[in-house]
Structure 1
């Protein structure tokens, strides 16, 4: 999946990160870049496949050709990559110059002193151009205390996929609000025709919480208070879960345990009508030629307050222990330049982060306009090392509510209590 592929099951916590904190603060440095020796070599730890990895694998040779900087690209899966980077940071190892990280870990890594500040490595004019050309949420994801520590490079978030033939038969258009989506899901259910309404990957421990989250956020919900105490078990949280349970009544049989593969297959075959939390376009890609024209993409629905699809993403950073930080920063800057983002990223399997690049590639894929629009309103999950644990713990409780084992009130109370324990154990309060 491409929300930030899949959260690691390792017990990565704030204390784990701080245990390996750098002994010294980051060097201030000047804004002018020194000359880089063209025979320089750097090492980058990244994903190797999918939208987050394929562009890096395929375009890195072009970077070397353009700059003369050789890159030893080490690629691996998400969980293994997390383990490698945590171990290297804890040891203050110079093994990696560039590290591709999940954005949820950035602020923890910064607090521990593991990342170089980019404001002193990338020219100000280049950073200013970059920031003026990306959704504000992406800048927030890769900054801390007003300073820049990473660049988004590849962007992704949830979006709505709808079967327009099912909707038209019911006299409906693509829903713009969550209330409209519920009504449309209910009106398009026809078990005799093997046609259902809502579709989502609700599987516990993996996606349950991120299916509930855009509904909660869209109606004004907040996950934590100012002291980082979980507060999502309030009435807004209960109402969001109650609403989700109503949507799930319109799902195909077994919907409470749907995987992302089930979610994709249901939309691709016409079994489902509306998937408002799709991370990937595979339903459209894998649909038969006669089904594909029926499927359209749109921005996640609006609640009482806003639209709030969940943002995902992996960004490039420079290790604070890099021996060649300037060359490493040039690697980041190159991949995020206007030319590379607009001309090269999409043909090599990526999705850009720059607004101008989305505009330049709007016709490249039928779902691109919806993703570009969704990124502008998407919200960021808390950038905590413990978020994976909280996501999983809450997902267990939501899944219990999905099958009627506990009430929405009990599920949200249990989820908040579990999150509170995780935050206490991590030393936040």
Structure 2
């Protein structure tokens, strides 16, 4: 849910699951720099039995599911795991202090690409080194089993040859809508609007706007056609970015490479371009027909507006599908986002998990065992089925399982997987939307949503907002970054 700052100070969909009760109290006291003991055994999974690992994570659905079902890992390895979950900005502060201080209080780290991976990659282990050790279990399916765009965006930084994290969650913004209402009114909408209103990447953003306005004017089934996550918050940047990329704009030149691999020097900001200004002008128009409460909503405010029947459609992180299906079973549909003049762009907000470079040799290998298990196909499948929430898989092999394929159709015991056809398309290189992976992104994010908020309040024009954001971002980037 980057985002995300949400996605991120990404609290993206951070409150999907509340903080795990009492988790902080579980954190093992960290006294001294004593390495874990290694046991002589032929069982590669049990070499570090008796070790205690500490995982620090944002409050996410996958972490909640793992915390609720740690017993299989402990039985497999003899390793105990304490889990601390925090709001992302608080988590980042603790990780930064731990890495800077040369400690490894946290062995396994939820590595948000923008607030942890980009600024602190030098403090993380290159996981290829552990994957190649013959006395450790192999990485099932290899690195190639992870969705390629996700492995790049969540796992790499600056150097395409190094992998600092394995994809752990994959919230992606898609078109979520009341399929029952589109079915009920579809023929009339088509006649009135002059096009087939069926949601999908074949629709344009202008058509999305017209569909929203149609619901406003022609039915009492919902109060508004669309809602947006346009609060002065990271969610506003996330929401706007889909339109920006669709219109052919971007934050920096070479946006695909800056988003997938990342860089410490992205060059001048591109938000003053004609395409970016056109995107801002459209976004301002869209908010004029959206639920007025949109300016007070982040992703967590928007989600219940859809699931409770207040709006007919919205753009939100796909992992809210489970809540939708619980609220009004069978009433929802999921599709990739509309296209702009250039493409359909679907904002990806996934994160990975990595290992602190401050870990001692045996601690590091024990932590690798946990990373292997936590991102394994079986654990990801268990997460899909978890009553504690769970995320959606980051491995292609899980989507290929017959039971998962069947669950893409209703009735489904894995409601989040109902979005699989939409997100598969969204993750294709031509359709994925990736914010810049740069060390100073958090400051840039603040500049973007602050200027957009001023625009939506009527304090600046779209052109003025984009130019002001450009000036602020160029100053931020010019200061550079030293980690």
| TM-score past 0.5 threshold | yes
- Does 2:126 correspond to 1:117? yes
Distance 1:94 1:257 in 2: 39
- Does 2:57 correspond to 1:7? no
Counterpart of 2:101 in structure 1 is 91
The CA deviation at 1:372 is 4.2
Which of 36, 39, 43 is 2:53 aligned to?
Answer: 43
- Does 2:241 correspond to 1:213? yes
- Does 2:341 correspond to 1:341? no
Counterpart of 2:397 in structure 1 is 356
1:396-425, CA deviations, whole angstroms, 9 ceiling, x for partnerless residues?
111111122211000000111111111122
Alignment map for 1:117-196 (pairs within 5 Å): 117-123=126-132, 126=138, 129-141=141-153, 142-144=155-157, 145=159, 146-168=161-183, 169=185, 170-171=189-190, 172-176=197-201, 177=203, 178-190=205-217, 193=220, 195-196=223-224
Distance 2:327 2:318 in 1: 20
Structure 2: tracts of 5 or more residues without a match: 11-42, 191-196, 255-265, 408-413
Distance 1:167 1:248 in 2: 21
- Does 2:435 correspond to 1:390? no
1:268-292, CA deviations, whole angstroms, 9 ceiling, x for partnerless residues?
2333222124454269537754xx4
Normalised to the residue count of structure 1, the TM-score between the two structures is 0.84
Counterpart of 1:198 in structure 2 is 226
Distance 1:297 1:402 in 2: 28
C-alpha distance 156-278 of structure 1, shift in aligned 2 (>3 A): closer
Alignment map for 1:264-413 (pairs within 5 Å): 264-278=303-317, 280-281=319-320, 284-285=323-324, 288-289=327-328, 292-323=329-360, 324-344=363-383, 346-347=385-386, 349-360=390-401, 361-362=404-405, 363=407, 364-365=414-415, 367-369=418-420, 370-376=422-428, 377-413=431-467
1:227-268, CA deviations, whole angstroms, 9 ceiling, x for partnerless residues?
522112211111111111221122123433334344223322
The CA deviation at 1:36 is 6.2
Counterpart of 2:257 in structure 1 is none
The CA deviation at 1:322 is 0.6
Which of 110, 120, 131 is 1:100 aligned to?
Answer: 110
Q: Is the 8 A contact 2:354 2:371 kept in 1?
A: yes
Structure 1: tracts of 5 or more residues without a match: 10-32
Q: Aligned to 1:238, what secondary structure does the other structure show?
A: helix
The CA deviation at 1:345 is 5.1
Q: Is the 8 A contact 2:45 2:369 kept in 1?
A: no
Q: Aligned to 1:71, what secondary structure does the other structure show?
A: strand
The CA deviation at 1:310 is 1.1
The CA deviation at 1:426 is 3.2
The CA deviation at 1:61 is 2.7
C-alpha distance 255-336 of structure 1, shift in aligned 2 (>3 A): closer
Q: Is the 8 A contact 1:218 1:302 kept in 2?
A: yes
Normalised to the residue count of structure 2, the TM-score between the two structures is 0.75
Q: Aligned to 1:232, what secondary structure does the other structure show?
A: coil
Q: Is the 8 A contact 1:103 1:315 kept in 2?
A: yes
1:329-381, CA deviations, whole angstroms, 9 ceiling, x for partnerless residues?
12111222223223455425222111222343351116332344433442322
C-alpha distance 261-156 of structure 1, shift in aligned 2 (>3 A): closer
Q: Aligned to 2:415, what secondary structure does the other structure show?
A: coil
The CA deviation at 1:73 is 3.0
Q: Is the 8 A contact 2:56 2:83 kept in 1?
A: yes
Distance 1:229 1:333 in 2: 39
1:44-71, CA deviations, whole angstroms, 9 ceiling, x for partnerless residues?
3323743142123123332121122232
C-alpha distance 262-67 of structure 1, shift in aligned 2 (>3 A): closer
C-alpha distance 271-286 of structure 1, shift in aligned 2 (>3 A): same
